[in-house]
Amino acid sequence: MSAADPSALLAASFAAAVAAADPGKVLPAHLPGPQQLLHFGRTLVVGAGKAAASMARAVESHWPADCPLSGVVVTRYGHGAACERIRVVEAGHPVPDEAGEAAARQILQAAQSLSENDLLLVLVSGGGSSLLSLPVAEVPMADLRSVTRQLLSSGAPIQDINVVRKHLSQIQGGRLAQATPARVLALVISDVAGDDLSAIASGPCAPDPSTYGDARALLSQWEVKVPAAVAGFLERGIDGGIAETPKPGNSLFSRVENRLIASAHRSLEAAAEVFRGAGIQPVILGDTITGEARDVAQVMAAIAREIAAHQAPFQRPVALISGGECTVTVRGRGRGGRCSEFLLALGQASVGIERLWALAADTDGIDGVEDNAGARLTPDSLVRARALGLDSRRMLEDNDAYEFFSRLGDLVMTGPTLTNVNDYRVVLLA
Amino acid sequence: MSAADPSALLAASFAAAVAAADPGKVLPAHLPGPQQLLHFGRTLVVGAGKAAASMARAVESHWPADCPLSGVVVTRYGHGAACERIRVVEAGHPVPDEAGEAAARQILQAAQSLSENDLLLVLVSGGGSSLLSLPVAEVPMADLRSVTRQLLSSGAPIQDINVVRKHLSQIQGGRLAQATPARVLALVISDVAGDDLSAIASGPCAPDPSTYGDARALLSQWEVKVPAAVAGFLERGIDGGIAETPKPGNSLFSRVENRLIASAHRSLEAAAEVFRGAGIQPVILGDTITGEARDVAQVMAAIAREIAAHQAPFQRPVALISGGECTVTVRGRGRGGRCSEFLLALGQASVGIERLWALAADTDGIDGVEDNAGARLTPDSLVRARALGLDSRRMLEDNDAYEFFSRLGDLVMTGPTLTNVNDYRVVLLA
């Protein structure tokens, strides 16, 4: 891929980012080989998350035909995909529902029924916390839903929410690994900052450093109206002998392996490699860049302006790469996701900076609720838009970035990729 | 200054940034020396902008006592400072008023009365566009005010507003230099992105590439209800023989020198030098970083997190320096300017990143409307706040960052500095 066609280069970098998170491409290398499988009894595949179906499919298509394989994974409504030997269940997200509970109960029972010689293969990806919700016996599902809903709307960070979830769950916080006598291999696609294995899907097979006391303190801090059953359980959890989640150092983890197979950062690194190959310096600014899309665009434009004016802190040609999830506060009546809105704002904020190209797209292939993954910006985007009679400023005000880039023929379309390591953004100064 | 005391180092870097924009420190070196003054007849000092009074004072205090000096400068209400030989007038900003018009008329007449051997010393700083408003004879002040007000509330960028101003002014767009037969030395403190000399205070002594046609197009684009006198003048300006503003290459500029004596970028460079001296790599991310303060904070935190996790794109110890003006959309009922709000949001967004210090302050010494220049963030800010019973999250929601840092004893106070090169922000990863 050459630097002579920046738009093609950006597209190739996005394809590389998606490929690095595609279970079909990255998962097979982590599966036990036929020789290793001889050491195991049977293999049970379980899992949950937005990428669960495509992870299950990747397992199936690389599993020796003569080795037994069965299992069940849970994914979001609409994120299913046909599998033959592994059952794919769709369930509620981000608030758990009964479909997820039933599947989780089945998964737990199947994991408990394994023997020491068996292998529990766990497919973990973002969203698994709510998809694989099996509250402890003392807490009704309705109470777990109530607590989850309140936490989601309280402004609590996801880490805090997960501390509570882990302590009300029979699966999360390492409980799944604890529940089975089998060997455990958890393959993990991370969509969280820092790729903390105990955070992704609330770590069903990972040690959990948090405590019942933490969970109670957080419920109080976030002013959750705690149902009596939840309060009672969290109290007894400390004083009444209900075991804690397994902590780091617990000997059970000697038969457990958690392996990160894809993450936002690895996808950014894969994209970076494309630029390096084209003789362009890639700079990964961060894989956790959040904030209102149009404000993030202003910061990116300012960094680009600094480079254009001072050839510092980086020299052209340079590709400023970032990941994470921006937000869009919808004020207008237009269409568009956070990636296209970021680009439209970037186009306006970077007026006067020459030879600037950009691409922003969601690695799951869906920018918000539209049919595009994202869009691309070229040095002449605003000029071409004006020629078409488009008022870019007004369209940004109206959150109408989809229409803007659609009219320009500059939407990036991939279809759903059935994986997710958040957004991919790159600003290229050629 | 050593890296052992990060808070003191940050304070020293801010002091260096302010000093680099302090007319008392940077202006004298640009004044003609006693020998040069012998070649001139009399010297007239004129000027306008937020720093006009302190620039005038710097001229006075370094001017040979036996050389004649007189003049008048215009600054914002409340930005005056005592001068002996130069008169300091206060006037309206950002919407011009009669006080500014009267002063501008006096300045223009005085400049016209000079001879070829005289020196017109022009002190230019941000805000001068509106402070030095003398509409062309055909346009009443009320019409200029109406057009300015509409443009300010239309969302038009300042560059667009200034194109219109230049073409309705007897002073801006190079008109002041055109009006005098004298030698012209304009000393300029820049508060605009890119330090474009024709943009700062609408460039009273700088060539103006824009045209009457541009002004008309922009008024139409921003849907300004154009008063008849303005419309008529801008039409005749093209067809009726009213001369254009002097363009780049115009021979009159052979007797004119515009000299940038301070700018946001130079202040950031001065701050960078403080870190370099302490063995810490300074990185200037940009001098034009704008956007909602809390969103800019999220981006900065994400870059810091990248560095903390990957020792890239920069290695610790590193100081991430930036300038520009953030905005705060006030939703709560608290107190606080954009710098303190940026820091409070940064504190929350950077939880988990160790050894992070930060300072944000306005170089004019006033963060918003409060009495502080800004504030500082330390690794234990949130812990100390909790111990005081402060709910940092709720205080951010309530735009109450002043109170937050006041209670911590972490406000940065300087008093008004009588100069302005926008905000100074630094995030230090020790």
**Is residue A90's pLDDT more than 90?**
yes
CB of A331 less than 8 A from some CB of B = no
For the stretch B170-195, pLDDT in tens is 999 999 999 999 999 999 999 887 78
Hey, are the CB atoms on A288 and B295 less than 8 Å from each other?
Answer: no
Chain A residues with beta carbon closer than 8 angstroms to that of B349: 290
Answer yes or no: do B298 and A285 touch at CB < 8 A.
no
| Segment A143-169 mean pLDDT | 88
| Gyration radius from chain B CA atoms | 23
Closest by CA to B129, choosing from B59, B188, B48, B241, is: B48
Name every chain A residue with its beta carbon within 8 A of the beta carbon of B193: 305
A239 pLDDT above the threshold of 80? no
B285 and A322: CB-CB below 8 Å?
no
Distance from CA of B296 to the nearest CA of A (A): 7
Contacts of A231 (CB under 8 A, 6+ apart): none
Confidence of residue A152 (pLDDT cuts 50, 70, 90): confident
| ipTM value greater than 0.90 | no
Hey, is the C-beta of B294 within 8 angstroms of any chain A C-beta? Answer: yes
A97 reaches B (C-beta below 8 A) = no
- The answer to whether A291 contacts B295, with C-beta atoms less than 8 Å apart, is yes
**Which chain A residues are closer than 8 Å to B294 by Cβ?**
291
Nearest Cα residue in chain B from A266: B310
Q: Is residue A289 within 8 angstroms of chain B, CB to CB?
A: yes
pLDDT, residue A346, reads 98
**Which residues have a Cβ under 8 Å from the Cβ of B27 and sit 6 or more positions away?**
B55, B58, B59, B62, B187, B261
Tell me the chain A residues in contact with residue B306 when contact means C-beta distances shorter than 8 Å.
284-288
User: Residue B196: its pLDDT value, please?
Assistant: 85
Q: Residue B17: what pLDDT?
A: 98
d(CA B376, CA B10): 8
Mean pLDDT over the full length of chain A: 92
* B267-270 LR contacts (CB < 8 Å, sep 24+): B267/B16, B267/B17, B267/B18, B267/B20, B267/B21, B267/B323, B267/B363, B267/B421, B267/B424, B268/B17, B268/B321, B268/B322, B268/B323, B268/B424, B269/B20, B270/B16, B270/B17, B270/B19, B270/B20
Q: What pLDDT is attached to residue A195?
A: 85
pLDDT band for position B240 (50/70/90)? low
Q: Spell out which residues of chain A touch residue B311, defining contact as CB-CB under 8 Å.
A: none
Q: Between A283, A289, A349, which is nearest B299 by CB?
A: A289
For the cut 80, the answer to whether the pLDDT of residue B288 exceeds it is: yes
Which of B283, B299, B314 is the best substitution to test chain A (most A C-beta atoms within 10 A)? B299
- pLDDT at residue B239, rounded to an integer: 56
SS (H, E, C) B188-222: EECCCHHHCCCCHHHCCCCCCCCCHHHHHHHHHHC
Please state the rounded mean pLDDT for residues A32-43: 87
Q: Do A393 and B352 touch (CB under 8 A)?
A: no
Q: What is the pLDDT of residue B279?
A: 96
| Cβ contact A291–B296 (<8 Å) | yes
Q: Is A384 exposed, middle or buried (0-12, 13-18, 19+ CB in 10 A)?
A: middle
Q: Which positions in chain B touch A395 (Cβ < 8 Å)?
A: none
Which two structure tokens, joined as six digits, stand for A339?
A: 């990636």
Chain centroid, CA A420 distance in Å = 5
Neighbours of A294 (CB within 10 A): 25
Half-sphere exposure of B421 (CA within 13 A, CB side): 31
Cα(B252)–Cα(B254) distance, integer angstroms = 5
Asked whether the beta carbons of residue B302 and residue A310 sit closer than 8 angstroms, the reply is: no
CA angle, B203 then B220 then A348, to 5°: 70
Query: Which residue, chain included where needed, has tokens 């003392």?
Result: A138
Hey, are the CB atoms on B292 and A296 less than 8 Å from each other?
Answer: no
pLDDT (tens digit per residue) in B322-337:
999 898 888 889 999 9
Highest mean pLDDT among A149-153, A362-366, B130-134, B372-376: B372-376
B11 touches chain A (CB under 8 A): no
Q: Residue B291 is nearest to which of A265, A286, A299, comparing CB atoms? A: A299
Res. B238: pLDDT tops 60: no
Describe the crossing of helices A6-19 and A264-277 by its angle, rounded to 10 degrees. Answer: 140
pLDDT tens column, A196-224: 888 888 899 999 999 999 999 999 988 89
Report the pLDDT value the prediction gives residue A238, as an integer from 0 to 100. 56
The answer for A 29-88 residues in CB contact with B (under 8 A) is: none
Please tell me the predicted confidence (pLDDT) of residue A2.
64
Token pair 């902008």 is found at: B49
A7 touches chain B (CB under 8 A): no
CB–CB of B236/B198 below 8 Å?
A: no
Chain A residues within 8 A of B155 when measuring between CB atoms: 393, 397
Q: Residue A403: what pLDDT? A: 97
pLDDT at B353 over 80: yes
Is the Cβ pair A313, B194 closer than 8 Å?
no
Of A284, A302, A313, the CB nearest to B290: A302
Q: Which residues of B touch A298 (CB under 8 A)?
A: 289-291, 296
Helix, coil or strand: residue A72: strand
pLDDT at B1 over 70: no
Closest chain B residue to the Cα of A300, Cα to Cα: B289
User: Residue B96 has what pLDDT?
Assistant: 79
Domains and CATH numbers, chain A: 6-17+265-429 (3.40.1480.10), 23-134+169-210+245-262 (3.40.50.10180)
CA distance B268 to B282: 10
Gap between the Cα atoms of B92 and A334, Å rounded = 39
- As a whole number of angstroms, the distance between CA B218 and CA B238 comes to 15
Whole-number Cα distances in Å, A408 to A224, A368, A382, A387: 48, 19, 10, 10
